[in-house]
Chains A and B, each alone.
Chain A
Amino acid sequence: MALDSKVPQGPIADKWTDYKNHIDLVNPANKRNIDVIVVGTGLAGGSAAATLAELGYNVKAFAYQDSPRRAHSIAAQGGINAAKNYQGDGDSTYRLFYDTVKGGDYRAREANVYRLAEVSANIIDQCVAQGVPFARDYGGLLDNRSFGGVLVSRTFYAKGQTGQQLLLGAYSAMNRQIGRGKIKMYNRHEMMDVVLVDGKARGIITRNLVTGEVERHSAHAVVIASGGYGNVFFLSTNAMGSNVSASWKIHKKGAYFANPCYTQIHPTCIPVSGDHQSKLTLMSESLRNDGRIWVPAKLEDAQAIREGKKKPTDLSEADRDYYLERRYPAFGNLVPRDVASRAAKERCDAGFGVNKTGEAVYLDFAAAFVRYGTEQALIHGDHNPSAEKIDKLGKEVVKAKYGNLFQMYEKIEDENPYETPMKIYPAVHYTMGGTWVDYNLMTTIPGCYCIGEANFSDHGANRLGASALMQGLADGYFVLPYTIGDYLSDDIRTGAIPTDSPEFEEAEKSVKDQINFFVNNNGTKSVDHFHKRLGKIMWNKVGMARNKQGLTEAMAEIKALREEFWKDVKVPGKGDTYNEELAKAGRVADFLELGELFAKDALVREESCGGHFREESAETEGPQKGEAKRDDVNFAFVSAWEYKGEPADAVLHKEELEFNDIELKTRSYK
C-alpha cells in the first residue's frame, strides 16, 4: 500500500483552516448514534475522550490504571509551549513551527508541525478556562520560562507539576462527561487486540485486570492514545506500566510503525544506583534555565571525587569544565536534549564522570543562588548584602521555582542539592517514533487513529522540551475531534456494531489462547528477568550511540531472547483473576518484537539525526567536528514499517519529506 499523508494543498498557514472549512461534519443528532473507543487516558486520550463526548459521540475510554488521573502524562514537570508571545520577545506561530522542525532535525512533516504551532495558543486559553492554575506574575498575568533549543520564553508552567495540572484539567473535563453518561470509563482494563470488520477498525478486545475477564467492545472508530514505548529499555523515566502493546497490536493488524529508532534520551535524570533499580527519575529540563552543567577539568580530580577523596565544592572555577557552555556558546546549557545527552556521555566515556559508576555529571545551582539572591536583596532595598544573605535569599527563589524537584532529588540520592551540586545522567525518556498517521491522525487501518506520544508525527528525530504536553493536548482537544468527523460522517446509518461477529469471536479466541499459554507454560524465569535482559541489549547496542555491528548483533540477540522467553517464561497464578505477572508477560512479549524492529530501523538509517546517532555518520573536520552528520540526500524520509510476521521481515515504506517552508540546513547550536 502506498503511503498517502493526505496533507491539504495551499499555503502552509492556510492549510488547517481551509481543511476544516471543507471536511464533512456529522450532525448533532447523528453523533448520538456513533460510538468511539479511546484507549489510554493521558493528555491525548483524556482530552480526546472529553471533547468527543462534548460533541455528542458515545465514548468508551480505557485505562490500565485505577483512574484516568494516573496516566503518566502526570509526571511531566517543566511546562507546555505555546506561541502566545506574551513576553513580547518575538515569538510567533512561524517561530514555534520553525523551532520544532529544526529541533526535530528536519525529520518531521511540515504541515503537521505548523498545525501544532497554530493551535498551541488555544490550548493555554482552554486550560485556563478549565481552572488549570498556571504560574502567574504579580500583575496576575501568566508567567513563562524558557526551554532547550529555542531563543524565546514560550513555556507555560505550574511549578514543577505542569503535566499533573494539565492532566487533571483533562480529567476534570472527562469527569463532567462521565457524570453525564457520555463517557463510559473502564479503569483497570487492558486492550489486548483490535478487531477489524471489513478492513475497518470496529472494536477492541480487553482484559479486566481485576477479574481477568476477557471482554468485547465495539465502536465505529478506535483511537489509540497509549503513550510511548521507552520501557523497551526496561529502565526509563516511564511509569512501570507504560507499554507498547496497544500500538503493537494495531501494527500487527495493519498499522505501519514509523521511525521506531527515534528515542529521546533525556540529559537530566538521576543516575542509576544499582541492579535493583526499577525505573529512573527525571529532573526537569527547566532546571537547565538556572543550573550549570560541569565535570572536573582534570582527570585526577574526577578520580578523587569518584573515590570520595574530594567534594565538588572543593574544586575552583578554573578546575571545572562547563562543557556545554564551552562547546555551544550560543545555547550553552540550553542546547536541545539530544545534544546535551551526547555531550554528557562523551565526557563520562573520556573518564570525567563523577559518581561511583563513572556515569554522572554535575548540575550546579551556585551561580543561580548568587544571581537571584543579589536581585532579591536589591528588591528589598539592601544594596550591600552579605554573602550569607545573598545565598539565603537566592535559595528561597530557587526553592519557590523548583522546590518539589529538589525534594525529589534529596529523597532518592540522600544528598541536599541546595548544598552540593546534583548528579545527573541521561536516561530514556520519550519516543518520537510511533504509529504512522496521516494528516487526519488516522493510521493505515481505516477508522483506527493514533494520537499523542503513541504516534510519530510532530517531533521528527528529536522532541523539544515542553512540546509533548502541547502535542498531546493539540491532538486530543483540537485536531482529532475535527478529523474523525470526516471519517464518521459515512457511518451515520451504520447502527451499533455487533460484537457477536466471527471477527470478534476470532480475536477473542486468540487473546484467550495467549493467556492460557502463559499461565500453563511452566517456565523457569520471571517476566522481569527477560525484560531486564532486553533492556541491557537495547541500552548497550541501541542506546545513545549506535553502529552497524552493534545493531546487527542486537537484532540477533533480541530474536534469540524472544525465543527463549516463549519457551521459558514463568507466569504464576491463573488467567481469570487479578494477575499482574500475566499482564506484564503480554507487554514484554510485545517489547521483544518491537526491540528487534527498533534495531532494524536504526540499522537501515545510516545517518545521524536527532536522538539517533550513528557513529559512522559524524562530522570529521571543521567547526562541527564530532557533531552528528545528517544525510538529507538519502534519508529525508519517514520509515514506515509494515508487519510481516518476524520483525526482521518487516517491509519498509518511505514517506519522502518535503520542506517547502523551511530550508534544510545543518542544525547548529554553537
Chain B
Amino acid sequence: MDMNLKLKIWRQNGANDEGKMVDYSLSKVSPDMSFLEMLDVLNEQIINEGGEPIAFDHDCREGICGMCSLYINGEAHGPDRGITTCQLHMRKFKDGDTIYIEPFRAKAFPVIKDLVVDRTAFDRIQHQGGFISVNTSGNTQDANSLPISKHAADEAMDAATCIGCGACVATCKNSSAMLFVGAKVSQYALLPQGQVEAADRVRNMVAQMDAEGFGNCTNTGACEVECPKGISLDNIARMNREFFKANI
C-alpha cells in the first residue's frame, strides 16, 4: 500500500545560516523504498518544481560506509535498531505519518548544508594515534608467527566494526565521542600488535577528542542503543582503563 507523508526537514544554507524546519508533502511512497530513496523521490519533485534539492550525505547505501547521518523523529538513523539511515525502509512508517528529519547535531559536527555535517573531527582524532606504526616493507614477519586467541581476535573485530558515522555523538546528551574513540582504542588494546604504543595512543586520542569539543561520558548508554553496529559500552570502560593505566 502506497503512503502519503508529511515531512518536516531541516534546511540550512551553510554554517552561518540560522536554518529552519521546512514542510513538504510526498505522496505514493512505497513501503519497499529505503528512506534515502524516499528522499531521492522528494528531491526529484523539488527539482521539477524549480527548487533546490535537500542536501544529505550518503554513499554506499548498504550500511557500511558510515556516510549517511540523519536524525529521524528524534533518533539517530531513525526508528529501527542495528541499521544506518540507508538501511531504514519506509515500511517502518504508516500512511499519514509526519516525519521530522534533522542533521546529526553536535558542537564538533558543524552543519555544512541542510542535513550534511562536517565530521572531520573524527579523522583528526585518528590522526593522533588510530594506527599501529608499521611501515610497508614486504618482509614483515609471517602473519601466523603471532598467534592471537580467537577470543581476543573476535573482540577486536567487534570493536573494529565501528563505521565512524557519529550516531553515538548525535545521540549523546553530552555529544560525547567516547564510544567511537573507545572502539578504536579497544581494537588495538586487545591485540598484541597494539601494545607497544598503547599508552601514547590513548593519551593522544583522548586529548584530541577533548580539543575538538566533544563532551564527556555520563554512562547513559544511549549511544550503544543507537549504534548501527552495536558497539558495546565495554569499549568505553576499556578505554578508561587504558587511560588510567597510561597515566599512573
Chain A residues engaging chain B, CB cutoff 8 angstroms: 47, 50-51, 54, 65-72, 74-75, 84, 86, 119, 122, 124-131, 133-142, 158-159, 161, 164-165, 168, 171-173, 175-176, 178-179, 185, 187, 210, 237, 239-241, 273-274, 276-279, 281-282, 407-408, 411-412, 414, 477-478, 481, 526, 528, 570, 572-573, 577-578, 580-581
Closest to A159 in B: B157
Assembled-state Cα–Cα distance A577/B140 (Å): 46
B188–A129 CB distance below 8 A? no
A175–B130 CB distance below 8 A? yes
Closest to A176 in B: B131
Assembled-state Cα–Cα distance A126/B143 (Å): 8
The answer to the question of B164 belonging to the interface, with a C-beta cut-off of 8 Å to chain A, is yes
- Residue in A125, A276, A578 whose beta carbon sits within 8 Å of that of B55 in the complex: A578
B131–A173 CB distance below 8 A? yes
CB distance from B43 to the nearest CB of A (A): 8
Q: 8 nearest interchain CB pairs?
A: A140-B147, A172-B131, A179-B127, A133-B157, A128-B143, A125-B140, A133-B156, A176-B131
A274–B30 CB distance below 8 A? yes
A278–B34 CB distance below 8 A? yes
- Residue in B47, B61, B112 whose beta carbon sits within 8 Å of that of A278 in the complex: B61
B194–A129 CB distance below 8 A? no
Quick one: given A172-B130, A276-B30, A478-B136, are A240 and B59 in contact (CB under 8 Å)?
yes
A408–B59 CB distance below 8 A? no
Closest to B229 in A: A404
A125–B141 CB distance below 8 A? yes
B193–A478 CB distance below 8 A? no
Assembled-state Cα–Cα distance A73/B14 (Å): 30
- Residue in B38, B41, B48, B126 whose beta carbon sits within 8 Å of that of A172 in the complex: B126
Quick one: given A164-B161, A239-B59, A414-B91, are A278 and B36 in contact (CB under 8 Å)?
yes
A136–B64 CB distance below 8 A? no
A141–B191 CB distance below 8 A? no
A122–B113 CB distance below 8 A? no
A126–B55 CB distance below 8 A? no
Quick one: given A130-B134, A276-B37, are A580 and B55 in contact (CB under 8 Å)?
yes
Question: Which of B82-90, B170-178, B234-242 forms contacts with chain A?
Answer: B82-90
Assembled-state Cα–Cα distance A47/B138 (Å): 13
* A75 proximity list for chain B (CB < 8 A): 60, 62, 64-65
* B41 proximity list for chain A (CB < 8 A): 276
B136–A72 CB distance below 8 A? no
A528–B44 CB distance below 8 A? yes
29 A–B contact pairs at CB < 8 A? Answer: A54-B135, A72-B59, A124-B143, A127-B143, A130-B134, A133-B157, A134-B143, A135-B153, A136-B149, A138-B150, A158-B160, A175-B126, A176-B131, A176-B133, A178-B127, A210-B112, A239-B65, A274-B30, A274-B32, A276-B41, A278-B36, A407-B82, A408-B63, A411-B87, A414-B91, A526-B47, A577-B113, A578-B14, A580-B53
Chain B residues engaging chain A, CB cutoff 8 angstroms: 14, 30, 32-34, 36-38, 40-41, 44, 47-48, 50-53, 55, 57-67, 80, 82-83, 87, 89, 91, 112-113, 116, 118-120, 122-123, 126-128, 130-144, 146-150, 153-154, 156-157, 160-161, 163-164, 187-188, 191, 193-194
Assembled-state Cα–Cα distance A483/B136 (Å): 15
CB distance from A215 to the nearest CB of B (A): 18
* A412 proximity list for chain B (CB < 8 A): 34, 87, 89
A179–B128 CB distance below 8 A? yes
Closest to A529 in B: B44
CB distance from B24 to the nearest CB of A (A): 16
Assembled-state Cα–Cα distance A408/B118 (Å): 27
Closest to A51 in B: B136
Assembled-state Cα–Cα distance A187/B194 (Å): 28
A140–B149 CB distance below 8 A? yes
* A65 proximity list for chain B (CB < 8 A): 59, 65, 67
Quick one: given A51-B136, A179-B127, A414-B89, are A133 and B30 in contact (CB under 8 Å)?
no
Quick one: given A129-B141, A175-B126, A175-B127, are A69 and B66 in contact (CB under 8 Å)?
yes
* B120 proximity list for chain A (CB < 8 A): 66-67, 187
Assembled-state Cα–Cα distance A407/B187 (Å): 23
CB distance from A221 to the nearest CB of B (A): 18
CB distance from A239 to the nearest CB of B (A): 4
* A74 proximity list for chain B (CB < 8 A): 60, 64-65
Quick one: given A128-B193, A210-B112, A578-B113, are A67 and B164 in contact (CB under 8 Å)?
yes
Assembled-state Cα–Cα distance A134/B160 (Å): 11
B64–A84 CB distance below 8 A? no
Known: A84-B143, A133-B153, A239-B60; 6 extra A-B contacts, CB below 8 A, are: A136-B154, A185-B123, A239-B59, A240-B60, A276-B33, A578-B55
A408–B87 CB distance below 8 A? yes
* B150 proximity list for chain A (CB < 8 A): 136-138, 140
A47–B136 CB distance below 8 A? yes
CB distance from A482 to the nearest CB of B (A): 9
CB distance from B37 to the nearest CB of A (A): 5
Quick one: given A125-B140, A210-B112, A572-B52, are A130 and B131 in contact (CB under 8 Å)?
yes
A139–B30 CB distance below 8 A? no
B44–A526 CB distance below 8 A? yes
* B40 proximity list for chain A (CB < 8 A): 276, 278, 528
Assembled-state Cα–Cα distance A134/B128 (Å): 24
* B64 proximity list for chain A (CB < 8 A): 74-75, 161, 164
CB distance from A22 to the nearest CB of B (A): 17
Closest to A174 in B: B131
Quick one: given A135-B153, A172-B131, A240-B59, are A129 and B140 in contact (CB under 8 Å)?
yes
* A129 proximity list for chain B (CB < 8 A): 132, 134, 140-141, 193
- Residue in B67, B118, B160 whose beta carbon sits within 8 Å of that of A168 in the complex: B160
Closest to B56 in A: A580
B61–A239 CB distance below 8 A? yes
- Residue in B36, B47, B139, B143 whose beta carbon sits within 8 Å of that of A572 in the complex: B47
* B137 proximity list for chain A (CB < 8 A): 126
- Residue in B119, B141, B149 whose beta carbon sits within 8 Å of that of A67 in the complex: B119
* A241 proximity list for chain B (CB < 8 A): 59
* A528 proximity list for chain B (CB < 8 A): 40, 44
- Residue in B61, B130, B144 whose beta carbon sits within 8 Å of that of A142 in the complex: B144
Assembled-state Cα–Cα distance A128/B136 (Å): 12
Assembled-state Cα–Cα distance A241/B188 (Å): 31
CB distance from A12 to the nearest CB of B (A): 19
Quick one: given A65-B67, A124-B143, A412-B89, are A572 and B157 in contact (CB under 8 Å)?
no
Closest to B191 in A: A131
B194–A70 CB distance below 8 A? no
A133–B191 CB distance below 8 A? yes
